[in-house]
A and B are shown apart, each in its own frame.
Chain A
């Protein structure tokens, strides 16, 4: 058994696919932070609600999976809007710690509400996607979907930000929150659009994650911390940075876990994060001032 064998290649591909999942997770969180400057600690819980939405629409109400996915994206987008209108907007002028605590409170509220409403049992779509075999290697179809969706979502968000008036306004606000109202931009509207978009991206992540994971009220704990780390590693608010960080993190986990104990993969990934916080505290892709 050599060091470079087909299993290494498989681990690299698995890392890429895991990176796609993590990139998808970080996209919405980065967008919201980049524009509104508020970290949605409860972001993974929005995904959890989206996963439940998929479960009920597809399994209980037998909606076609594409329709269920579309409804889910719209609904979680509306949840994002509601989160901003009800929790974030009243605290926009407050100290960052208050905003953080408020979204942290929403996290516990959503976890508890899901426990009461949906129970503690694990639920899943019961959908087993086909297995792809390419050049003697097996590739996870659901992960390939997530990877593709992450790429497409990234491109669409990029096009939205660079090719539309609303996108230009979003970028302008991200650059200077104080001056834009003076230039006649309705910041309240832009914040709402951004929150809705952030929520919709959480909904998209939910649609794809529910193909791979069981849903339960605490599923957010599996993704929440790692998503936040990736956003910080890539430079909080920087989509490109988050995207790159997701793949770097995933490759360390996957390839590190192949040659050492699986847990060492995570140890290396977190050690890399800590080192980078010393070397580049502003994040991998931050522009140096």
Chain B
């Protein structure tokens, strides 16, 4: 058969075309199925070094992991990264650009609450899905009844309430005083983030009966905080609740030391207080025994209490973090936070949207997000996930999220609160070795 040379060549070409056609045909749907994610963090400007870039790293580690895996449920993953430049207006413009020009299916990220509040409203207007990995201000969601905006993080108010609860429970045993005899000061950067945490602080302080001697906001870019320190000296607080970014935290602590401010404890709330390496570099051992309220660092989580696949993921994130930032002394909780929150989206929301709701449009993703029901231990951060429905006052907020309190002791972070997860007893009041110690 096929003695004729040209005929053999022709048949061969036809067969090749048929095979190629079949291959291309089978590939066509796979190529067409893609989830394009717009990722927005601050890669430049003061917020970048203040923690945003570490969150961006955590999200990227997780996105790259799923890209390498070949995607999710037949959908390829593509990420388009945008820099909010530490400016709310740029964050909104970038969000709109990603949606309208880059044609992304959804947005993920957002470090600063000042950006999150307006960006969430704009994204909702454009009917796109927004998955917040970081910003915590209640104002992003409170009484806005947003349909397409979801946040796995605890809210800023929860941060504020957690620290006052911790102090109230330890006032008598550690400081030897009833809560009503404790003098506390609440200071915060004046953006959406600081204001929200301070609201929680104030509510909790009133509930506990603390004597609030000062509650004041300041601009995170203020060149001088000496007047604030002088006021604190006049108010003589036993405990300071502080919420700030960086470099305002280091400026405040430096000026506090130089002006001789003394206190029994300082409780920071995330952001700049979550980047221990930078605090240590700026302030040396002065940061010893400071507290920080944040979602738990994934590297401190009790692995036995987590779902089976999570410890391996935590290990993977840690290895990638080391590769990206060799020589890191204390792994920042920031990286783990965004990695975990991105993982929840990739494993809980996205597969459900594709399989059950037919795709990756905002409506399918929204329905899938509302169906997520993870009990405690269901995420790398230890908490579960169940989002409040759109009729709720905090629609889109993860009701099962909670922060914890860490204490930095001799270059190591220890989980000291809540009691159920405590790794060691908190050191309270500040020992006499601290330059801030009231004793």
Contact = CB atoms under 8 A, between A and B. Distances in A.
Nearest to A216: B49
User: Interface centre among A14, A143, A223, by most B CB within 10 Å?
Assistant: A14
A120 B49 contact: yes
Nearest to B250: A214
Given A11-B230, A120-B53, A253-B227, A262 B250 contact: no
A122 interface: yes
Contacts of B216: 261-262
Interface stretch (B114-122, B276-284, B299-307, B416-424): B276-284
A219 B260 CA distance: 26
A214 B247 contact: yes
**Is the interface on chain B under 10, 10 to 19, 20 to 34, or 35 or more residues?**
35 or more
B257 A131 contact: yes
Given A11-B230, A131-B258, A122 B86 contact: no
Contact of A254 (B44, B226, B260): B226
B223 interface: yes
Interface in A5-19: 5, 7, 10-11, 14, 17-18
Interface stretch (A133-141, A172-180, A235-243): A133-141
B434 interface: no
A139 B257 CA distance: 10
B31 interface: no
Contacts of A14: 224, 226-227, 230, 259
A123 B250 CA distance: 11
A10 B286 CA distance: 23
Interface string A150-185: 000000000000000000000000000000000000
B43 A7 contact: no
Nearest to A140: B258
A128 B282 CA distance: 9
A214 B282 contact: yes
A258 B250 contact: no
A226 B278 contact: no
Contact of B228 (A139, A212, A257): A257
Nearest to B190: A263
A141 B258 contact: yes
B127 interface: no
Contacts of B283: 128
Contacts of B259: 10, 14, 138, 140
Interface in B62-89: 86
Nearest to B45: A218
B250 A122 contact: yes
Q: Is the interface of B mostly helix, strand, loop or mixed?
A: helix
B282 A124 contact: yes
A109 interface: no
B408 interface: no
Nearest to B187: A262
Nearest to B254: A212
B222 interface: yes
A18 B226 contact: yes
Contact of A265 (B227, B281, B286): B227
A142 interface: yes
Nearest to B42: A120
Contact of B247 (A115, A131, A138, A213): A213
Interface in B129-176: none
B438 to A, nearest CB: 15
Interface string B229-265: 0110110000000000011001100110111100000
A122 B217 contact: no
Nearest to B215: A261
Interface in A231-289: 250, 253-258, 261-263, 265-266
A217 interface: yes
A262 B44 contact: no
B224 A126 contact: no
A254 B227 contact: yes
A97 interface: no
Contacts of A262: 216-218, 222, 225, 227-228, 231
Contacts of A10: 230, 233, 259
User: Interface centre among A143, A212, A257, A258, by most B CB within 10 Å?
Assistant: A257
A101 interface: no
A122 B48 CA distance: 9
Given A128-B283, A138-B260, 9 more contacts: A10-B259, A11-B230, A131-B258, A214-B250, A218-B86, A222-B221, A254-B226, A254-B227, A266-B219
11 contacts: A7-B234, A10-B233, A11-B227, A11-B230, A14-B226, A18-B226, A120-B53, A124-B282, A219-B247, A254-B226, A255-B227
Interface of A: 1, 5, 7, 10-11, 14, 17-18, 21, 115, 120-124, 126, 128-129, 131, 133, 138-143, 212-214, 216-219, 221-223, 226, 250, 253-258, 261-263, 265-266
